[in-house]
Amino acid sequence: MNQSFLPFALPEIGEEEIAEVVSALRSGWVTTGPKTKQFEADFAEFLGGGVEAIAVNSATAGLHLGLEALGIEPGDEVITTTHTFTATAEIIRYLGADPVFVDVDAKTLCIDVAAVAAAITPRTKAIIPVHFGGRAADMDALLAVARKHGLRVMEDAAHALPTTCSGKLVGTLDSDVTVFSFYANKTITTGEGGMLVTRNPEVAKRARVMRLHGINRDAFDRFTAKAPSWHYEVVAPGFKYNMTDIAASMGIHQLRKANAFQQKRAQIAALYDAAFADLPIICPPQSAKGDVHSWHLYVIQLDDSVTVGRDQFIERLYAQGIGCSVHYIPLHLQPYWRDTYKLTPDMFPVSQRIYERTLSLPIYTLMTETVVARVVAAVKEALR
């Protein structure tokens, strides 16, 4: 095999993004300013439903701001999935609260709503579902549980642009806060960046203030408002989480391509589905009927009849020049979470099994049909 190595993920950056970034650089305004304001307005319009969009420098920052705005404090419990990236849970610890990890539903690979209901205690304040791989969690059931127990819901939508749930775009559902990621390998990218979305004006106001040092007006307003003012007030010990105009310049154009990117990813997923139909491979969960799957990830599961182990399978793909990954090493296996909360694999049988038998194949807009065919051929070879 002397074909070049196929990376697991690559962003698609066009001339439009490059020109907009250059225009930000030439404008003299490189931190949060007009491009960020435009990106926020465009993002709110893209989602619709009367949401406010607040741009931040990562989804992790947005998740932290969201949970802070919901008033989570030391001693509180927040229920989330073990089958996620550590960012989902670490922000709970930032606030001194405790995550309560639950297993995922094998049908969706998203948080198991029955397990959520069983994990509620008098200390429970909020739930953080993850739309794993871009397939929506069962939000109707989850929101019903939350309402019944008076709990707040913040969606980790790092994978979910654009994803729909019961026909509505994630970001416009009846949760309190939704946070998207624009990290380099996500469905749209600003290099680093994120967007906090909410319909709750109190949450929006708090997140805006805490995004920039707890100052009650942002830098752009201070220096460019009609009545320029040197005066500002610090109302809380805030954070430094604002998005730069350089990043927002990329975001403006990436967002315009979000639907086209989704279609491209869905085509690749359909090619994989068809190619693997007769193989001992379990394809990733489809979205519910009529809903959009963002196809951020394409996670395959090796059937029990496959004798080669998952790790060896990945090695065989690498040997053929195919990059792949594992989503995720569940949090119950990570030393910090495992030791702090005394977690064991038998507490999370579905997640544990998925971890042991799954891998993620490349799925991104720059992949041609020829490249997809190359991955399929490598998978067949690795099964042999």
Q: On the CB side of 253, how many CA atoms lie within 13 Å of its CA?
A: 17
Helix (H) / strand (E) element for 125: namely: strand 124-128
Measure the CA angle with vertex 272, ends 138 and 275; round to 5°: 130
Q: Of 156 and 176, which CB lies nearer to ligand PLP in the complex structure?
A: 156
- Rule CB under 6 A: which of 282-321 touch ligand PLP? none
Residue 194 engages ligand PLP in binding (rule: CB under 6 A): yes
Measure the CA angle with vertex 112, ends 110 and 117; round to 5°: 140
Residue 183 engages ligand PLP in binding (rule: CB under 6 A): yes
Residue 60 engages ligand PLP in binding (rule: CB under 6 A): yes
Residue 155 engages ligand PLP in binding (rule: CB under 6 A): no
In whole angstroms, the minimum distance from the beta carbon of 280 to ligand PLP comes to 28
Q: Do 172 and 46 form a contact (C-beta atoms < 8 A)? A: no
Q: Do 155 and 170 form a contact (C-beta atoms < 8 A)? A: yes
Residue 59 engages ligand PLP in binding (rule: CB under 6 A): yes
Q: Given the structure tokens 């460019």, which residue do they identify? A: 224
- What does each C-alpha distance from 122 to 77, 80, 116, 153, 233 come to in angstroms? 9, 16, 13, 16, 37
Q: Of 113 and 247, which CB lies nearer to ligand PLP in the complex structure?
A: 247
For 47, the token pair is: 């989602």
Residue 29 engages ligand PLP in binding (rule: CB under 6 A): no
Closest CA to 133 of 168, 81, 98: 81
Q: Of 124 and 181, which CB lies nearer to ligand PLP in the complex structure?
A: 181
- The number of helices, as runs of H, and strands, as runs of E, in the chain is 14, 12
In whole angstroms, the minimum distance from the beta carbon of 91 to ligand PLP comes to 9
Let me know if 342 is a catalytic residue: no
Question: Catalytic one among 107, 186, 205, 264?
Answer: 186
- Rule CB under 6 A: which of 114-133 touch ligand PLP? 130
Q: Of 156 and 245, which CB lies nearer to ligand PLP in the complex structure?
A: 156
In whole angstroms, the minimum distance from the beta carbon of 130 to ligand PLP comes to 5
Residue 97 engages ligand PLP in binding (rule: CB under 6 A): no
Q: Given the structure tokens 């109707």, which residue do they identify? A: 140
Closest CA to 379 of 246, 289, 252, 275: 275
Q: 115, 158, 160, 195: which one contacts ligand PLP (CB under 6 A)? A: 158
Q: Of 66 and 238, which CB lies nearer to ligand PLP in the complex structure?
A: 66
Q: Do 273 and 287 form a contact (C-beta atoms < 8 A)? A: no
Q: Of 296 and 374, which CB lies nearer to ligand PLP in the complex structure?
A: 296
For 305, the token pair is: 């009849």
In whole angstroms, the minimum distance from the beta carbon of 251 to ligand PLP comes to 12
* Total of residues contacting ligand PLP (CB under 6 A): 14
Q: Are strands 168-169 and 124-128 parallel, antiparallel or unpaired?
A: unpaired
Closest CA to 128 of 155, 110, 108: 155
Residue 65 engages ligand PLP in binding (rule: CB under 6 A): no
Closest CA to 329 of 101, 158, 84: 84
Helix (H) / strand (E) element for 155: namely: strand 152-156
Q: Of 249 and 320, which CB lies nearer to ligand PLP in the complex structure?
A: 249
Residue 84 engages ligand PLP in binding (rule: CB under 6 A): yes
Query: Which part of the chain contacts ligand PLP (CB under 6 A), choosing from 54-62, 238-246, 274-282, 333-341?
Result: 54-62
Query: Which part of the chain contacts ligand PLP (CB under 6 A), choosing from 30-38, 52-60, 264-272, 372-380?
Result: 52-60
User: Which sequence positions are flagged as catalytic?
Assistant: 186
> Which residues are near ligand PLP by CB under 6 A?
58-60, 84-85, 87-88, 130, 156, 158-159, 181, 183, 194
